[in-house]
Structure 1
Amino acid sequence: MACVRCLALIALALFLCIPADIRAQAREADALDLTLRDVLRGRDVPLAKAAHRLAEANVVLVGESHDDPDHHAAQLQIINSLRLSGYPVAVGLEMFQHREQQILDDWVVGNLSESDMAKAFARNWDASWPLYRPIFEYCRQERIPMIGLNVPREITRQVARQGFSSLSREQMGQLPPVVCIVDPAYEAFLRRVLGTHAGDGEFNKFCEAQLVWDTAMAYYAGEYHVSDPERTLVVLTGSVHAWKPAVPAQLRKLHPELSSLSVLPAESGVEPGRITPKDADYLYMRGG
């Protein structure tokens, strides 16, 4: 597995050295290599054919393992395939706080250097900018809007440690409208996906943090769509947030008029055969 990861990182590094116009051509051809498993129908569909159905949704959530280059390559292919099929798209990011939207706007129009964006990315997320760089470069090249969907990370960390009730009035003011009530179905979903056996008290705080995360991303995704309804918003997020009981469920509560589709990597912590249409709409994988 380590060797496979090294090869993927080498391939990514080589990809970044290719001129932008050649990279674009490579992406257009590579979009044909991604295969999606239609969970409801139990069959594999080439991305080029699935793109039309994806574009019918207002929001498409594409899950990832944050450190997996193959997942980011697949996300880029999905974005590219939608654009090549003639559908206007925007990209929503778990990796950026909503309050730093101006940075993303400046990046897309070319008013921010890569070094400044790398610093902003590290401030918002971590040091994994090289893994996300091809997606960011592509969005800038094609003038695709990028939308920050997250809340300040110190807030979710505090909720995970001390619970939602520990937030001050000032901290609550940094959140969109959030009702943090963890119901049994949501807790069962997280236990199933994460396989955790943590004690009830600590796990409930973790559930609250996840729920704050899910609700905020759903809220900001819905707000963006209201402002730009012609675009399909492709949300890049950790797989646990892309499952239907997570962000999609909160999106239905906050914006029942919007439709969403959930696309997970085939290796999402649960055996593919046990993933049902209640969990996701598509699984993505390489080849046929």
Structure 2
Amino acid sequence: MTYKNAVLFWIICLTFGFTAIANGQNPEAYKLFDSKGKKAKYIKMMKELADADVVMFGELHDNTINHWLEFKVLESLHKAKGDKVIVGAEMFESDDQLLIDEYFSELISKKSFQKEARLWDEYKTDYRPLLEYAKTNNLQFVATNIPRRYASLVYKKGINYLDSLSDEAKSYIAPLPIEIDLELPCYKNMMGMMKGHGGENLPKSQAVKDATMAYFILKNLKEEDIFIHYNGDYHSKNHEGIVWYLQQANPDLKVVTISTVLQDDIEKLNEEFHNQADYILCIPNDMTRSYTRD
């Protein structure tokens, strides 16, 4: 091999080598897809979200990218809509609303709020940024979820036991009686996964949560405002759960959903996730979790 050919050979090898390295070292934290599985731009999604009445952001509770993008979406909506944004979340129970209101009004300190409210273990890293953003920017923040003791009551004893609660207790729940369609896949699949454990009480306890969250969203939604709600993905994917209750109450409501999925390769959305939401946030399966339950 001549010197010139040898040099050319090594240039070609190095070029292919650097290309392979570059491709291997260009990881992406997420990709957005529309309901049909086509890649979507963040700015396009935000334009549609800003035109909605309600935005449902379905999260995977332990996903760091999820929580970061939740904050960015809130920030973007606020820039687009100003004080017309209302924030709500599954992670705050309805009987903690007074504490949130008192904290936002500076009647109690941050320390008192965090001590007295029933906050999730990951509150400080995952949900405090949303609440503090709302507080700083004078946005209404709504605790939408049913107090867990009442959901537990449904699971242990049955939904009829809600009738025995006091009027004050009932004020923290969607108005009774609560319509439940156990043929909805989200509830029917739950019974199948649990193989009979808990019987119908398990999906009914889930439905009571969904109905209550929908109720407090609608109760606080004002004309020309947009309500962004954060919840576990199972509560809103496939336009079921909370979304079903919203649409039962108001079929004309414009609800835009975001669902979160994990894949080994995020370049193309797996077909099983198509139509799961209006927008699908696809995150690498090996993304760092914000906590573990081992």
CA distance in structure 1 between the partners assigned to 2:137 and 2:124 by the alignment? 19
Are the counterparts in 1 of residues 87 and 142 from structure 2 also a CA contact under 8 Å? yes
Specify which of 230, 240, 254 is matched with residue 234 of structure 2. 240
Shift of 1:206: 0.7
Match of 2:40, SS state, is strand
| Aligned position for 1:274 | 272
Q: 1:264 aligned to 2:259?
A: yes
The residue identity in structure 2 corresponding to 1:67 is D
Q: Which moved more, 1:246-255 or 1:135-144?
A: 135-144
CA distance in structure 2 between the partners assigned to 1:112 and 1:44 by the alignment? 45
CA distance in structure 1 between the partners assigned to 2:123 and 2:62 by the alignment? 10
Are the counterparts in 2 of residues 47 and 81 from structure 1 also a CA contact under 8 Å? no
Shift of 1:109: 4.2
Are the counterparts in 2 of residues 159 and 205 from structure 1 also a CA contact under 8 Å? yes
| Aligned position for 1:26 | none
RMSD: 2.7
The residue identity in structure 2 corresponding to 1:206 is L
The residue identity in structure 2 corresponding to 1:108 is F
CA distance in structure 2 between the partners assigned to 1:103 and 1:272 by the alignment? 43
The residue identity in structure 1 corresponding to 2:92 is F
Match of 2:131, SS state, is helix
Map 1:1-288; keep pairs closer than 5 Å. Answer: 35-40=31-36, 42-87=37-82, 88-121=84-117, 123=118, 125-131=119-125, 132-170=127-165, 173-174=170-171, 175-186=173-184, 188-190=185-187, 192=189, 196-200=192-196, 202-225=198-221, 228-243=222-237, 244-267=239-262, 272-277=270-275, 279-285=276-282
CA distance in structure 1 between the partners assigned to 2:224 and 2:116 by the alignment? 28
TM-score, normalised to structure 1's length?
A: 0.75
Are the counterparts in 1 of residues 31 and 283 from structure 2 also a CA contact under 8 Å? yes
Higher fraction of helix:
1
Are the counterparts in 1 of residues 186 and 234 from structure 2 also a CA contact under 8 Å? no
Shift of 1:144: 1.7
Query: Which structure's CA Rg is the greater one?
Result: 2
Shift of 1:118: 1.6
| Per-residue deviation, residues 85-115 of structure 1 (Å, max 9, x unmatched) | 3453111121222233232223334444221
Shift of 1:71: 1.7
Shift of 1:83: 1.6
Alignment CA distance shift 1:255-1:191 (3 Å): same
Are the counterparts in 1 of residues 191 and 202 from structure 2 also a CA contact under 8 Å? no
Structure 1 unaligned regions, length at least 5: 1-32
CA distance in structure 2 between the partners assigned to 1:103 and 1:128 by the alignment? 19
Shift of 1:61: 0.7
The residue identity in structure 2 corresponding to 1:53 is E
The residue identity in structure 2 corresponding to 1:37 is F
Are the counterparts in 1 of residues 191 and 199 from structure 2 also a CA contact under 8 Å? no
Shift of 1:217: 0.7
Percent of aligned pairs sharing the same letter: 22
TM-score, normalised to structure 2's length?
A: 0.74
Q: Which moved more, 1:164-173 or 1:85-94?
A: 164-173
Shift of 1:119: 2.0
| Aligned position for 2:17 | none
The residue identity in structure 2 corresponding to 1:283 is I
Alignment CA distance shift 1:179-1:195 (3 Å): closer
CA distance in structure 2 between the partners assigned to 1:285 and 1:56 by the alignment? 23
CA distance in structure 2 between the partners assigned to 1:139 and 1:90 by the alignment? 8
Shift of 1:263: 0.7
The residue identity in structure 2 corresponding to 1:96 is F
CA distance in structure 2 between the partners assigned to 1:109 and 1:283 by the alignment? 36
Match of 1:267, SS state, is strand
Shift of 1:126: 2.8
The number of residue pairs the alignment matches comes to 245
Are the counterparts in 2 of residues 64 and 238 from structure 1 also a CA contact under 8 Å? yes
Alignment CA distance shift 1:34-1:231 (3 Å): farther
Shift of 1:197: 3.0
